[in-house]
Amino acid sequence: MKSWIAESGGAGRRSIAGLPASGLLALQTLTGNRAVARTLAGLAVQRRSAQGLIDKRITLSAAVPQVVDDELVPIGEAPGRFDGFASKDAAIALARRSPEVAIVVRDPDRYHVLRTTAATLGGKSAGPENPKGWIIVEIVEPAKRSGADTFEIDYRAARQLTGDARAAAYRRLLVTGTHLEMSETAWASSESDATPGKVNVALWLPSRGRHLPAKVAPTGTAELPRTAILIGSSPFAEGAVSLRSTLLHESRHAYHMAETLKLVRRWRQTRKSDTLPAWDAWLKSQRKAVPPEVFQTAWANTHEEYGTATTETYSHLYGFMYRFRRDGDAQKDPSALDAAATLALHVRMAGLGSLGEYWEAAAQDARDSTMDQLAAFGAELTPNQRQHLRNFITKAGAGRDAPKVFYRELAKRL
């Protein structure tokens, strides 16, 4: 078995400077493994096998000689101790992120990613066996990357994976697509598996997103839960802007619940009587002291019989405003946008209809304050964006089940 050995000194050591370190460092940065990238910069590396030093030039088949530049290191593995992947999927996932042609080889029971160059790789008919006993598992062409389509390429690669590699790839997508740190993300295979306090990738979720818990009991002394956010599969399929607007939406719910929990904690410290009516009376006494958004959602969050209209109104508001402001088509002249593009834009604006439905059922305070925010949002838009918004309201507002009161009020404010 071949392995990378890191040594601080000794005969025959080779400095990292002798390897194409810049490519390796770039890849480490791409994979988000900045800590390893930093470590690499100070390491001396030597490659060793049972036979002794391995030459960098390895002939993979008699017909197609291939130059192996270096071996890539996966997230969380220090290069000095890395002796290949146990998982073929993990190796292929890393190869897909390589900016150069990469091959995945098995030797004999671990998987390695080797970077080559397109010029030396030549034909893809390289024989399965080679003199060193390395078996080619897969040849991976470099992904054509530009800033805008990186997310989509990574998403397509993530979908091909299984198991831990799939989980890791989706969490990386969540990090690259949003402002989150890796430590703020988690993988949830079911609702009970969700990690509190984190944004969980939950591909099984039937909706775009969810937040937990939905309700909290103010009475009693049971420890209060932490909030968790779950993100379903469709925002990943739709791209980074959709992912961020979904995160914003669910973060608003989580904010409402976090504020509720703060209020419950304060009440529990001073309560004279541990009953729901006592909580109600205390919460009402706070009405002037907290924003209407917080008061209304705290009330709903602590009463089983109350619906989600107010928290959904605010969540849809923030999700919609974020997404619409960043929609490229919404910035174009409406009269220059063809019917198909206009329809696609209107599909992306559908959140406004959901907002309207909840708005019509929400508390009056919430209706007033969200309508004020929409009016202020409209005032900041460009003339093109505002016209798209008006066109959407006219078209969507004519629908049979449209939230007509909402659209009528909004039209007056734009």
The runs of H, that is alpha helices, within 17-102 are 21-30, 34-41, 88-97
Cα separation, 234 vs 69, in Å, equals 38
Cα separation, 409 vs 250, in Å, equals 26
Closest distance of CB 179 from Zn ion, Å: 20
Nearer to Zn ion, 253 or 367 (CB): 253
Token pair for 160: 């091909």
Q: Is 315 in the site for Zn ion (CB under 5 A)?
A: yes
**C-alpha distances out from residue 153 to 169, 174, 354, 413, Å:** 12, 14, 30, 41
Cα separation, 51 vs 361, in Å, equals 75
Closest distance of CB 317 from Zn ion, Å: 11
Nearer to Zn ion, 246 or 385 (CB): 246
Nearer to Zn ion, 182 or 361 (CB): 361
Radius of gyration of the chain from Cα atoms?
28
Nearer to Zn ion, 164 or 360 (CB): 360
Which amino acid, residue 354? S
**C-alpha distances out from residue 326 to 127, 202, 348, 359, Å:** 49, 25, 11, 23
Measuring CA to CA, which residue among 76, 105, 66, 63 is closest to residue 88? 105
Closest distance of CB 250 from Zn ion, Å: 7
Helix (H) or strand (E) holding 103: strand 102-106
Which of these ranges, 2-10, 75-83, 189-197, 313-321, lies near Zn ion under the rule CB under 5 A? 313-321
Closest distance of CB 312 from Zn ion, Å: 5
Cα separation, 201 vs 189, in Å, equals 8
Which of these ranges, 82-90, 99-107, 314-322, 377-385, lies near Zn ion under the rule CB under 5 A? 314-322
Nearer to Zn ion, 28 or 308 (CB): 308
Closest distance of CB 190 from Zn ion, Å: 20
Closest distance of CB 167 from Zn ion, Å: 24
**Helix 364-380 crosses helix 404-413 at what angle (to 10 degrees)?**
40
Closest distance of CB 257 from Zn ion, Å: 12
DSSP reduced 3-state for 225: coil
Closest distance of CB 168 from Zn ion, Å: 27
DSSP 8-state secondary structure symbol assigned to residue 184: G
DSSP 8-state secondary structure symbol assigned to residue 85: B
Measuring CA to CA, which residue among 59, 220, 188 is closest to residue 129? 59
Closest distance of CB 330 from Zn ion, Å: 22
Residues from 343 through 402 that contact Zn ion (CB under 5 A): none
Nearer to Zn ion, 89 or 312 (CB): 312
Nearer to Zn ion, 28 or 311 (CB): 311
Q: How many CB atoms lie within 10 A of CB 356?
A: 22
Cα separation, 36 vs 28, in Å, equals 7
- In 226-327, the DSSP E strands lie at 228-231
Residues from 71 through 100 that contact Zn ion (CB under 5 A): none
Closest distance of CB 314 from Zn ion, Å: 9
Nearer to Zn ion, 185 or 315 (CB): 315
**CA angle, 8 then 13 then 19, to 5°:** 105
Binding letters toward Zn ion, positions 273-312, x by CB under 5 A: ---------------------------------------x
- Number of chain positions touching Zn ion (CB under 5 A): 2
Nearer to Zn ion, 260 or 315 (CB): 315
Minimal CB distance to Zn ion: which residue? 315
Nearer to Zn ion, 116 or 297 (CB): 297
Residues engaged in binding Zn ion (CB under 5 A): 312, 315
